Amino acid sequence: MKKIPLKLVLVVAVSAAIITLLLLTLFFVRFQERRLSTLNPAQGRFIQFLLREIATDSSPETIHRLASTYRLHILVQKDGETLSSDPEYFHSKAYLQLSREPWPGRRAHGPGQVPRRPVMSLLKAGHLPVGIEVVRGPKRFVLVKFGDDARVRRTAFLVTFSVIVILAFLFFLVKRWLADPLGELEAAIRAFPDGMYAGEPIHGSGDLRKLFDAFSEMKEQVRRTVADKERLLRDVSHDLKSPITRMRVAVEMLSESPIRERILKDLSELQGLVNQVLEVQRQKDFKREQVGMEQFLREFLAAHEPSFSVQLDIQTPFSIRGNRAQLSRVLENLMDNSAKYADVRKGVSISCYVDGDNGVLEFSDSGNGVGEEIIARIFNPFFKGDESRRQDVHNGSGLGLAICKTILEAMDGSIQAFPSQSGGLLIQIHFPRIDPEKE
């Protein structure tokens, strides 16, 4: 049976809790409204108390006091005098539309019959009992509960406010216990493997803790695998240097011949490959300093004098924290890559500008174009790219752009490749720029 995702269960539970709370709020407010606006036979003792108070003292002061205290409309008619706590109400449409029913347990009197006891009628607004009418001979007493009770509105407001506070607290807990940890985990997964050595995501509890522990174990296994691979590659490359040197010395002692030259060429390429592998391992630790990109680019081009034209476009100068020697190595590899694969007759262009908090360096050449499947793997070690771009040069070791990526990431930068508008390759490098005056 497929396990239901924890997030789905939580969403359903929260939704059910919200609906339940809202329904309870609605029922509670409705119950309070009915309770506070009714005057029914079940309140017999309370009604007897009110009638006794009014009969004992029917002064306007007493009527207004009782009406205000118990939230009532009171009407008293006796000795040809009418007293009312709210004359406007007793002339209103709401009062005139009230229906009258005999008080439960009392029979209605027929025409011409003289009642032996007070005539009591129940006043109803629809199906809701809201008042009482008592006739004792020439005396008539009417008591009607306030229908629009301010306490109901206050209660509804307090209950609604409480529900909102509870829901806000619930969502805070959901965000704190689930959304934040999952966000941290998502960020860590997206940064992997580039962020392989970054901090771990925050830990949750229960199922989330198991998920985070599993991710940490996987990350540690990958770390060990990568470290073992790098150590093996470094050790093998280092151990190969001596046999290659001995072979080169032995071959150079042979008489000149096409085979001797071919072997020497292959040994040179093998020696270069070994040196590049060792160079990759050395690019991760170096001293960093403030580097002004405009000055660095001009000095680099003046010192190296490439064999093809280079168009330098300094739109917005910026400074970074990096290493000049390593940056030179990056540009040398990019130049070498263009010399091998691009159309050097059209030259290359280097642009320098600012994008938000980042400084951007763009290196663009011309050529026969690069496929997306090539661009996706172009920075992988030992990937030799598209041999069809140039047929007259050796395809290289596939480590040049991988070395560039290693160097730039060690400077907190990043490198990406895109097809250029001129048909070649566009290399875009992002650096966190700094304020030279604050350094």
The domain of 406 spans 286-438
CATH code for position 229: 1.10.287.130
What is the SS3 string spanning the chain? CCCCCHHHHHHHHHHHHHHHHHHHHHHHHHHHHHHHCCCCHHHHHHHHHHHHHHHHCCCHHHHHHHHHHHCEEEEEEECCEEEECCHHHHCCHHHHCCEEEECCCCCCCCCCCCCCCCEEEEEEECCEEEEEEEEECCEEEEEEECCCCHHHHHHHHHHHHHHHHHHHHHHHHHHHHHHHHHHHHHHHHHHCCCCCCCCCCCCCCCHHHHHHHHHHHHHHHHHHHHHHHHHHHHHHHHHHHHHHHHHHHHHHCCCCCHHHHHHHHHHHHHHHHHHHHHHHHHCCCCCCEEEEHHHHHHHHHHHHCCCCCEEEEECCCCEEEECHHHHHHHHHHHHHHHHHHCCCCCCEEEEEEEECCEEEEEEEEECCCCCHHHHCCCCCCCCCCCCCCCCCCCCCCCCHHHHHHHHHHHCCCEEEEEECCCEEEEEEEEEECECHHHC
Do both 244 and 331 map to the same domain? no
Distance CA 428, CA 330 (A): 12
Do both 314 and 246 map to the same domain? no
Predicted confidence (pLDDT) at residue 115 exceeds the cutoff of 60: no
**Residues 141, 147, 148, 149, Cα dihedral to 10°:** 80
**Residue 314 pLDDT class (50, 70, 90 cuts):** very high
Distance CA 342, CA 363 (A): 12
Residue 267 token pair: 């040994």
Looking at per-residue pLDDT, the higher value among 21 and 101 belongs to 101
Q: Total domain count for the chain? A: 4
**Does 363 reside within a domain?**
yes
pTM over 0.75, yes/no: no
Predicted confidence (pLDDT) at residue 4 exceeds the cutoff of 60: no
**Does 296 reside within a domain?**
yes
Structural domain ending residue among the three candidates 262, 281, 300: 281
Looking at per-residue pLDDT, the higher value among 148 and 46 belongs to 46
> pLDDT value at position 393?
47
Do both 421 and 324 map to the same domain? yes
Predicted confidence (pLDDT) at residue 377 exceeds the cutoff of 90: no
Do both 290 and 269 map to the same domain? no
CATH code for position 340: 3.30.565.10
Q: What is the average pLDDT score of the chain?
A: 77
**Does 201 reside within a domain?**
no
pLDDT, one tens digit per residue, over 22-40 is: 777 777 766 766 666 677 7
Q: Tell me what the mean pLDDT of segment 265-294 comes to.
A: 73
Do both 20 and 80 map to the same domain? no
Predicted confidence (pLDDT) at residue 42 exceeds the cutoff of 60: yes
Predicted confidence (pLDDT) at residue 360 exceeds the cutoff of 90: yes
**Residue 353 pLDDT class (50, 70, 90 cuts):** very high
Do both 424 and 326 map to the same domain? yes
Q: Tell me what the mean pLDDT of segment 363-387 comes to.
A: 75
Do both 371 and 425 map to the same domain? yes
Distance CA 408, CA 412 (A): 7
Q: Tell me what the mean pLDDT of segment 327-350 comes to.
A: 85
Do both 245 and 325 map to the same domain? no
Predicted confidence (pLDDT) at residue 391 exceeds the cutoff of 50: no
The region of weakest confidence among 15-19, 33-37, 267-271 is: 33-37
Do both 292 and 425 map to the same domain? yes
* Range ranked top by mean pLDDT from 5-9, 34-38, 333-337: 333-337
pLDDT, one tens digit per residue, over 74-105 is: 899 888 888 888 889 888 888 888 888 888 86
> pLDDT value at position 284?
56
> pLDDT value at position 308?
84
